[in-house]
Amino acid sequence: MADARVFLDAGGRAPVHPAARQAYAAALADGWADPRRLYTEARQARALLDAAREVLAEALGARPDEVRLTPNHTAGLHAAVLSAGRARHRAGRRVVASAVERAALLAAASQLGGDVVFVGVDDAARVDLDAWRTAIGPDVAVAALQHANGEVGTLQPVDEAWEAAHGAGVPLLVDAGASVGHVALGVPWDLLAADPGDWGGPAGIGVVAVRTRVRTAQVGPEDADPWAPGGPSVPAAVGAAAALQAVLAERADHDQRRRSLVDRIRATVPRTVPDVQVVGDPHDRLPHVVTFSCLYVDGEALVTELDRRGFAVGSGSACASTELRPSHVLAAMGVLTHGNVRLALPTTVTEDDVDRFLAELPDAVATVRRMIGAEGL
Amino acid sequence: MSDDVGPLEPVNDDVGPPEPVIDARGLRCPAPVIALAAAARQTTGVITVWWTDPAAEYDIPAWARMRGHEVLGTEPLRSEESNETADDAPTRGAPYATRVRITSP
């Protein structure tokens, strides 16, 4: 019998949770109408959308009227940066962001028309708080710091970063796209972005919460819902809310199991694979993310070799990216960028999945090193 | 840019044989580091590597740290040194030279 596929690349696009699948199907049946119209079917869709918003708000520690739904996480980050930034144009156009923020956030920051100050990180990807405090000033339009880095798992010192931003009157956008559903949020924010695709919700929906006290400006053409022009997908919102409720109810179990599996990977890989760097904070991290780089290995070749052997993994290596540039996160950390393997364990991961991966990895790396002529270096 | 400044200077001010140069221009990751590692097995002292791949900027220092070698510095590669022609540059990105002191065999 052929072994089943092992999926270890759940960051941003996890397998859809059964609760989300069920809720999505039910909402397609009962919530297909346009929630902005005035008749019974529309009111039914509106009720489903409002209920989803309430569930999401409660899980994020926000009020329902603070929650915006967006077409996806990328669009949410774009809108959050641009609308909060434009609202403070008179104060300034500068954006302060850690050097390891998501590329979509940094791309939006560069559109505001001022400098983007990239605050450096240590070799675990944790932002330099002294440099952060120096960079923050009243002329900064918006500041951005992720809750956790989705590529390497490290949690960021959001409390301290928020204190500094708040003290200068600068709104802080917290990208919690890699952490919501996996770790307790428990950090202050002015704008918060979360990614249903990461916690087992359906694709096609994003969530941004904006504190009532934070001013935002309209970006893009006039629309009744500028955060999701034309309106968000009701079934996707319902599915996202159902998935989040389910994963939060199961979180203690998923946390313990995945944390110990990541510990096992972190301990085993350096023993069984020569010349490997496991990166990211070993303790203060997401429970399910682990990244390592193998010297003298082509990242694309390793992803392909592991796929051939039944394993789906990610990579931050240049050769595995469409832009042929290495991950800006690994570069900012000053760690090896080639031969990178990025694992984000889905909640459905089993001990057997991880043991099979650990058993195959040494030979997969050796195979790629042999192909490239890097044996014995 | 530093290529505007002053006349051509010798790469090596020390007396003795010239430092070995690895030309890894046009090679993509991880090939520049592999070429450097292969050369490091045959030499002690300082090796210069020419590269154009964007990952080499990070991976040469990361390799040196893992292996206990020392990166002495990275500079844009002057065209007079490398016989780079204008036709080569746009297809491969700007070339750089990194000098590494090989401190262990």
How high is the pLDDT of residue B32? 95
Q: How many domains does chain B have?
A: 1
CATH number, domain at B98? 3.30.110.40
> Across chain B, which distance is largest between two alpha carbons, in Å?
38
Cα–Cα distance list, A141 to A31, A83, A201, A217, B71 (Å)? 39, 10, 32, 12, 39
Cβ burial of B2 (10 Å; 0-12, 13-18, 19+) is exposed
Question: Within a 10 A sphere around the Cβ of A352, how many other Cβ atoms?
Answer: 11
CB nearest to B66's CB, from A275, A372, A373 = A275
Task: Of A133, A131, A132, A157, give the one whose Cα is nearest residue A146.
Answer: A157
Q: Look at residue B89 and tell me if it is in a domain.
A: yes
Any chain B CB within 8 A of the CB of A298? yes
CB nearest to B34's CB, from A293, A318, A374 = A374
Could you give the residue numbers annotated as active site of A? 319
Q: Which residues contact A245 (CB under 8 A, 6 or more apart)?
A: A19, A55, A59
**Helix then strand then coil, % of chain A, to nearest 5:** 40, 15, 45
Q: Look at residue B12 and tell me if it is in a domain.
A: no
How high is the pLDDT of residue B92? 57
Give tens-digit pLDDT for B43-53: 889 999 999 99
Which residues face A108 on adjacent strands? none
How high is the pLDDT of residue B1? 39
Binary contact (A373, B34; C-beta < 8 A): yes
B55 interaction partners in chain A (CB closer than 8 Å): 317-319, 325-326, 337-338
Binary contact (B28, A319; C-beta < 8 A): yes
- Exposure on the CB side of residue A92, measured as CA atoms within 13 A: 20
How high is the pLDDT of residue B90? 42
Q: Look at residue B32 and tell me if it is in a domain.
A: yes
How high is the pLDDT of residue B105? 59
Distance CA A109, CA A113 (A): 8
Provide DSSP, B2-59. Answer: GGGSSS---S--SSSSPPPEEEETTPPTTHHHHHHHHHHTT--EEEEEEE--TTHHHH
Q: Which residues contact A122 (CB under 8 A, 6 or more apart)?
A: A128, A333
How high is the pLDDT of residue B19? 83
CB nearest to A297's CB, from B30, B61, B66 = B30
How high is the pLDDT of residue A335? 95
Residue segments in chain A with a per-residue pLDDT below the cut of 50:
1
Q: Look at residue B28 and tell me if it is in a domain.
A: yes
Q: Which residue in chain A has the smallest CA separation from B35?
A: A374
Angle between the A40-60 and A234-249 helix axes, to the nearest 10 degrees?
30
Question: Within a 10 A sphere around the Cβ of A155, how many other Cβ atoms?
Answer: 22
Distance CA A160, CA A174 (A): 13
The DSSP letter of residue A148 is B
Any chain B CB within 8 A of the CB of A129? no
The shortest C-alpha distance from A94 to chain B (Å) reads 27
Helix (H) or strand (E) holding A343, with range, is strand A340-344
- Give the predicted TM-score (pTM) of the model: 0.92
Q: Look at residue B52 and tell me if it is in a domain.
A: yes
Binary contact (B34, A337; C-beta < 8 A): no
Q: Could you tell me the residue range of the domain that residue B98 belongs to? A: 17-102
Binary contact (B29, A373; C-beta < 8 A): no
CB nearest to A326's CB, from B37, B54, B66 = B54
What phi and psi, each to the nearest 5 degrees, are found at residue A143?
-115, 150
Binary contact (B31, A372; C-beta < 8 A): yes
Share of chain B above pLDDT 70, in %: 70
Where does the pLDDT of residue B73 fall: very low under 50, low under 70, confident under 90, or very high at 90 and above?
A: very high
A326 interaction partners in chain B (CB closer than 8 Å): 29, 54-55, 58-59
Taking phi first (over 0 means left), then psi (-120 to 50 degrees means alpha), and beta for anything else, what does residue A339 get? left
Which residues face A295 on adjacent strands? none
How high is the pLDDT of residue B71? 96
Cβ burial of A166 (10 Å; 0-12, 13-18, 19+) is middle
The shortest C-alpha distance from A326 to chain B (Å) reads 6
The shortest C-alpha distance from B37 to chain A (Å) reads 6
Where does the pLDDT of residue B2 fall: very low under 50, low under 70, confident under 90, or very high at 90 and above?
A: very low
B78-99 per-residue burial string, b: 16 or more CB within 10 A, e: under 16 = beebeebeeeeeeeeeebbbbb
Pairing of strands A206-210, A340-344: unpaired
Binary contact (A277, B30; C-beta < 8 A): no
How high is the pLDDT of residue A361? 98
How high is the pLDDT of residue A375? 83
Q: What domains can you pick out in chain A, each with its CATH number? A: 18-249 (3.40.640.10), 251-372 (3.90.1150.10)
Q: Which residues contact A49 (CB under 8 A, 6 or more apart)?
A: A31, A35, A69, A232, A234, A237, A238
- pLDDT at B81 > cutoff 70: no
Which residues face A117 on adjacent strands? A96
Return the structure tokens found at A260: 């110990």
Q: Look at residue B73 and tell me if it is in a domain.
A: yes
